[in-house]
Structure 1
Amino acid sequence: MPNGEPGDAARRAADVDRAVREARVSTASIEWAADATEPGAAIDIEVDGRRLWSEHLPEPLDGRRVVSWPAPLRPYLRGSGTLRVRASGGPVIAEGRYRFARERRRSLRRLAEAGTVLDKWGKLVPAANQELHDALLDGTERIVGELQAVGFVVAITGGTLLGAVRSGDILERDDDSDLLLYLGEASPTEVSLASYRVERLLIASGHTVIRHSDAHLQIMLQPTAAGISAHVDVFMGFHDRGVYSQPIHVRGDLPVEAILPITGIRLGGREVPSVADPEAWLAACYGPTWRVPDPAFSFETPIATRRRFENWFGTYDFTRHFWEARAARGRRGRRARGRGADVRHILRRTRRGDSVLDVGAGRGAAAAVLAGHRRRVTAIDFATTAVEAAVERSRGRFDVERVNLADGRAVLDLISRQREPEGTSVLLRDVLAYLPEDSRANVFRLIRAVIGERGIAVATFPDRATRRYEHLRPDTWHLPLSWLSAELHRHGLAYTLHRRTLRRTSAGVRRFVHISIHAAESSIESRRSS
């Protein structure tokens, strides 16, 4: 066809549309000239040739596409290099250079070189590989066998079932495996009780278990030879008056016949248990388009379903990943702040041999100081990275436990072990403001139960808001003294204010209060009269 003909012009226009756009990269966003690609297509963002995260192509804005940096990546916006936006599994859409502040210990380049990616939950994790997938297959087989041996009905579920149906293998980018424990017709209370039976069984079998809710347990597998950690999620599924529920996302009209009888399916060359109708379950979970791969997929649970599950089964790890990452970033050998006014307060009010409970102990700096003064210290935290660091620091001088303050049963168990005739003192360094109200209530029950006549509870926390507040960053939260007073009153407790100080923090300069918590006078009089 001669030059200038309509068909030639259409081809030239198509070639221009397929051309790689120039990406402009700033600390706020990545943007490039929009092409004709439909919004919603999956894209990968690559840094120096390595995928860092995936998401869906945004709607054009004034002829340009704009992708904002996810919050977990903002602390790493340092250094320089190349950034590409690629259609997932396809060609490069846009490319450009990034030039940020001088590179330091944390940077995009180092993050990419370490093989780290942002997963669908917004967490920075090691990128999946075959070694990780082999560990998942081994761990899944073991846990399935242990649960089946005591009569539980178990099947693969979630992304693990999706991979088995699509390709007979774990999905390429999956970094965990998912199991369904089907309880038949059951009430929410029966589901909660069953989850604790399962937890006890798994712990007795030598597993480390992290409780996400009363219907979701996470089993940590032993690290591989290369130090890669993996986990298996166990979700309770049940029918309640004909409606199928499987937290965290599935609730609807899925008949028992879609679950039972349990059948077999191939996964990574192994036979694993599956629900009776995998396609019906996948449609209930992922919707009618479940057959179409979507590397940027993330759950959008209907708010009514989310509220129902949270009210039934709780949420026990709302901020855990934040604190896990924070404890992991602490440099080995760095001299941590262990001799604050709160620690000195505890030392003045206790004697050698007295019991002290360090709540939210982090990497154990304060616990080490207290133990050095011959106090019998138990340090607790719910971030596994913090617990591991505290164990290393303790060298047997103080006890370290993982306790989730959101889990009322775990707190009651802690109370049973910490109650002593002389009382146990409690240190709450930078803790109370960073807890949800329900978790604080568990802390106040703990204090009321263990301090006795001689013990004391000492706390420091910010009591004023910061302009840097972010809902998903608990280090930006605050606790006004008026709120604290009302919450303490419900537990027969009161506080004494000792001092206010300014401190530079990750959320800016903030005012901290230093208080002690004790039984309210009315409670003391009531106890004496009885």
Structure 2
Amino acid sequence: MGTGTRRGPVTVRSLRADDDGLSFVLADRDHDVVVDVLFDGRRVWSFWTLRDSEPRGRERHVPWPSALVRFLDGQASLALVDHVSGEQVAAVDATLGSGAGRIRVVDSKGRPLGLDKSLTLSRLFDSRDPDQLAPLLSSIDTVLEALQRCGMDAFLAYGTLLGAVREGGLIGHDSDADLGYVSRFDHPAEVVAESFRLQRHLVELGLSVTRYSGIAFRVNLVESDGVVRGLDVFGGFMRDGHLYLMGEVGAPFQRDWVWPLTTVTLEGRSFPAPARPERLLEAMYGPGWRTPDPAYKFETPTATVRRLDGWFRGTRAGRDLVWEIPSRRRLRTRPVRPSAFARWVRRSEGAIGTFVDLGCGAGTDVFWMAKRGTPAVGVDFKPSHYQSMVARAARDQVPLTFTWANLNELRSALATGAELARRPGPRVVTARHLADALDPTGLEHLLRLARMVVGDSGRLYLQVLRSPAAGPAAQDPRQQLRRPGAEPGDVDALVEQIVQRGGRVESRHDLVESAADGPHGTEPSEEKREVTRVVVSWQR
């Protein structure tokens, strides 16, 4: 399941730890194995010695996962242990941060936490005793029985099935339970309709359900110990000799590898499984599924991702950017201060029929514009970002509306563009540090949406990063982990892409932006950033 070829335990000649991460020297520079990182004898994290590190001179360096950073203040005995052989390959006594006290990676109740394969901090199964696992197993029984009452024969899936087949129990470095089912339908629309029928039936049975996508959802149960447990249920179907199972599987498959269902043993209990569970595990994890890998990363083929996105994930695809969220209290009570970019746009334009801010975030720029009498629309991929301004606009009777859109999904971009193109013109569209945060697909959709909205009478105003931030905060690795998703890019390439899509670059301005140039609500900082502003029009 890993990326390297195992030739016995890795040999580490030296290990050191600092606030940036771990640095080590490998005896064999081509030897890539998965190692566990132990804090005072307890596994907290795992990584591959080559895949997850980068060269720094003679050493390899791996940064601390962001989820761990807040705990790394104190002292700890760190050890690297070859996960498969269990052999300790290096150790060091580390002093991090202030160096006061022992480092304890625990929750608010003092219970041990660890990182799973997705680097999510959780209470892992290896920190729980059998009595603590019993409610989870009962929850699996409850959901399987409920699905069967709804007419669906489900089975253990992903890590839960892997643990049952490979070890007969839950995987120690895992933290949740997964179920799956394969529909008898072979058309995506019918499979989606069936999934929603299942959800309605489960709700009628008194269960709480949270939907992830067209054919995946979570069933929320309150266990006997009072813990709310979410069990993921992934739907799938057969089409053209392939099995497609949310969220990672798209592989050649035979129906008799699924039906009739068989059983496997998990923690001493019997649970349903596909007829050939090893075939499904190979489709999920590859031919090396029998070898444990606590740092496993799915490498789902692009074709499979695009099919599952288009069929089932819809307009939620690609929403994994992390942005700084201003304090809601500050947004509700303090005077709204726009960005220097918004002020510049207003000075540059005459009469504006409709002002549209793509990637509006908290909505401070668009609120400020609407406050001055310009009908305005804020567009963002996460409604929680602008909820405070929704309430404030209603309270102050400001001509402002907000709408949701996801530029990573073409259908969302086209629908949003068509709706905004009906607003009074001339329409001005702004995108401050949005083009430099999107992947190529998202950027293409941004330009298409903007062209639809501005038509032949408005303009698109872009601001993008031209170089990394400079200043004390920019050099602090802990601050770097909190930095929003915009990244410096090639402005010339951006301009070329605009021209290729029929746009005309009316002007380009290179300047330096300080933290004071940002909108109200952002955190104080000494950073200065080189940015470029680009003004674009079409068909003039």
Q: TM-score range by the shorter chain?
A: 0.5 to 0.7
Is 1:501 matched with 2:511?
yes
Q: Which residue of structure 2 lines up, in the alignment, with residue 120 of structure 1?
A: 117
Q: Which residue identity lines up with residue 494 of structure 2 in the other structure? A: W
Deviation by residue 1:5-36 (Cα, 9 ceiling, x = unmatched): xxxxxxxxxxxx9xx9985324353438989x
Matched with 1:460 is: 463
Equivalent-residue separation in structure 2 for 1:167 and 1:502 (angstroms):
58
Distance 1:340 1:283, change over 3 A: closer
Contact kept, 8 Å, 2:434 with 2:486, in 1: the verdict is: no
Matches within 5 A, 1:174-189: 174-180=174-180, 182=182
Q: Quick check: 1:388 aligned with 2:384? A: yes
How do 1:45-194 and structure 2 match up within 5 A?
Answer: 45-47=37-39, 51-56=43-48, 68-69=62-63, 72=66, 79-85=73-79, 87=81, 94-100=90-96, 117-121=114-118, 123-128=119-124, 155-165=155-165, 171-180=171-180, 182=182, 191=188
Task: Tell me which residue corresponds to 1:517.
Answer: 536
What is aligned with 2:324?
A: 327
1:176 offset after TM fit, Å? Answer: 4.7
Q: Secondary structure at the match of 1:426?
A: strand
1:487 to 498, 519, 539: 498
Counterpart code for 2:441: D
- Structure 1 residues 251 and 450, CA gap change in structure 2 (3 angstroms): closer
Superposed CA offset, 1:438-497 (max 9, x none): 2122122222223357654322112468999x9x9953341424533433542x433332
Structure with the greater relative contact order (CA < 8 A, sep ≥ 6): 1 or 2? 2
RMSD: 5.6
**CA separation of 1:493 and 1:287: change in aligned 2, threshold 3 A:** closer
Residue 422 of structure 1: how far off its partner (Å): 0.6
Please give the secondary structure, in 1, of the residue aligned with 2:338.
Answer: coil
The CA deviation string for residues 77-100 of structure 1, in whole angstroms up to 9 with x for no partner, is 964421422545968654433345
CA distance in 1, matches of 2:221, 2:359: 25
What is the SS of the residue equivalent to 2:182?
Answer: strand
Counterparts of 1:280 and 1:344, CA distance in 2 = 60
Alignment-derived partner of residue 430 in structure 1: 433
Structure 2 residue 441 is the aligned partner of structure 1 residue 444: no
SS at match of 1:98: strand
Which AA in structure 2 matches 1:405? Answer: L
CA distance in 1: counterparts of 2:70 and 2:490, whole angstroms: 29
Q: CA deviation at 1:260?
A: 2.3
Once the 2 structures are TM-superposed, how far is the Cα of residue 258 of structure 1 from its aligned partner? 0.6
Change (3 A) 1:409 1:363: same
Q: Is residue 77–residue 101 contact of structure 1 (8 Å, CA) maintained in 2? A: no
In 2, are the aligned partners of 1:175 and 1:230 still within 8 Å (CA)? Answer: no
Structure 2 SS opposite 1:120: coil
Counterpart CA distance in 2 for 1:197 and 1:278 is: 27
Equivalent-residue separation in structure 2 for 1:141 and 1:420 (angstroms): 50
Partner of 2:260: 261
Aligned to 1:308: 303
- Which range moved further: 431-440 or 503-512? 503-512
Name the SS for the 1:327 alignment partner. coil
Contact 2:237 2:243 (8 Å CA) reproduced: yes
Q: Which amino acid aligns with 1:520?
A: Q
Is the CA contact 1:139–1:221 (under 8 Å) kept in the aligned structure 2?
no
Compared with structure 1, are the counterparts of its residues 48 and 419 closer, same or farther at alpha carbon in structure 2 (3 Å cutoff)?
farther
SS state at 1:25 partner: strand
Identity %: 20
With over 3 angstroms needed to count, the CA separation of the structure-2 counterparts of 1:196 and 1:258, relative to structure 1, is: closer
Distance 1:28 1:183, change over 3 A: same
Amino acid at match of 1:411: A
TM-score by length of structure 2 reads: 0.64
Q: Which residue of 1 aligns with 2:396?
A: none
Q: Which SS does the other structure have where 2:386 is aligned?
A: helix
- State yes or no: 1:476 paired with 2:483: no
Matched positions, count: 471
Q: Is the 8 A contact 2:13 2:24 kept in 1?
A: no
Q: Distance in 2 between matches of 1:208 and 1:367?
A: 32
Counterparts of residues 361-376 of structure 1 (less than 5 Å): 361-370=360-369, 372-373=371-372
1:408 Cα deviation (Å)?
A: 1.0
After superposition, the Cα gap between the structure-2 partners of 1:278 and 1:139, relative to the gap in structure 1 and judged at 3 Å, is: closer
- What does the per-residue CA deviation read over 1:307-366, in whole Å, with 9 as the maximum and x for residues that have no partner? 432465569889744x23x436x66657899512332245555879x6544322334443
Shift of 1:250: 4.5
CA distance in 2, matches of 1:140, 1:476: 46
For the residue of structure 2 that corresponds to 1:395, the secondary structure is helix
Matched, 1:407 2:402: no
Q: In the superposition, relative to structure 1, how do residues 138 and 428 fare at CA in structure 2: closer, same or farther (>3 Å)?
A: farther
Q: Is 1:418 paired with 2:413?
A: no
Distance 1:154 1:228 in 2: 21
Query: For each residue in 1:123-170, what CA deviation from the matched residue of structure 2 results, as whole angstroms up to 9, or x when unmatched?
Result: 444444789997998699779968995x87754421132244457765
Distance 1:511-1:45 versus aligned 2 partners, 3 A rule:
same
Structure 2 residue identity aligned to 1:512: V
Q: Which amino acid aligns with 2:505?
A: Y
C-alpha displacement of 1:380: 3.7
Please tell me whether the aligned partners of residues 406 and 439 of structure 1 are also in contact (alpha carbons under 8 angstroms).
yes
Give the whole-Å Cα distance in 2 for the aligned partners of 1:420 and 1:453. Answer: 13
Alignment partner of 1:31 is 2:27: no
Paired with 1:362 and 1:279, the residues of 2 have a C-alpha distance of: 46
Contact 2:512 2:530 in 1 (8 A): yes
The alpha carbon displacement at 1:251 in A equals: 5.3
Does the aligned pair in 1 maintain the 2:317–2:408 contact within 8 Å?
Answer: no
Note if contact 2:418-2:452 (Cα within 8 Å) is conserved in structure 1: no
Q: Does 1:276 align with 2:287?
A: no
TM-superposed deviation, 1:436: 1.9
Contact conserved, 1:459 with 1:514, CA < 8 A, in 2? Answer: yes
Deviation, 1:257, is 0.3
Q: Alignment partner of 2:324: what SS?
A: helix
Gaps of 5+ in 2: 1-8, 394-399, 475-479, 516-524
